Amino acid sequence: MAKRLTMTEALRQQAKQAEGVRALARAAGVDPMTVSHFLAGKRSIRLDSADKLAAVLGVEVRITKRK
């Protein structure tokens, strides 16, 4: 079974492979500062933004209960 990544981990990996956070955010139609602050732990991310970023990453957002 493949390791499940958090949204933060997936975004960081993709940003390294792409042209950075700014390019990733633009491709998703999300403000680059929103993504930057989310990755820095300075703010949470709205579900609609997470969904847009997930589409660029080729993954889906799945809501689960915390254990």
Please say if the pLDDT value at position 14 is more than 90.
no
Among 33-37, 47-51, 61-65, where is mean pLDDT lowest?
A: 61-65
In the chain, % helix, strand, coil (3-state, to 5) comes to 55, 0, 45
**Band of residue 31 on the pLDDT scale cut at 50, 70, 90:** very high
List CB contacts of 64: < 8 A, sequence separation 6 or more: none
Over residues 13-41, the mean pLDDT reads 87
Global confidence as pTM: 0.75
Burial of 65 (0-12, 13-18, 19+ CB in 10 A): exposed
**Which sign, positive or negative, has the C-alpha torsion 7, 13, 17, 21?**
positive
The structural domains of the chain, with segments of one domain joined by +, span 7-57
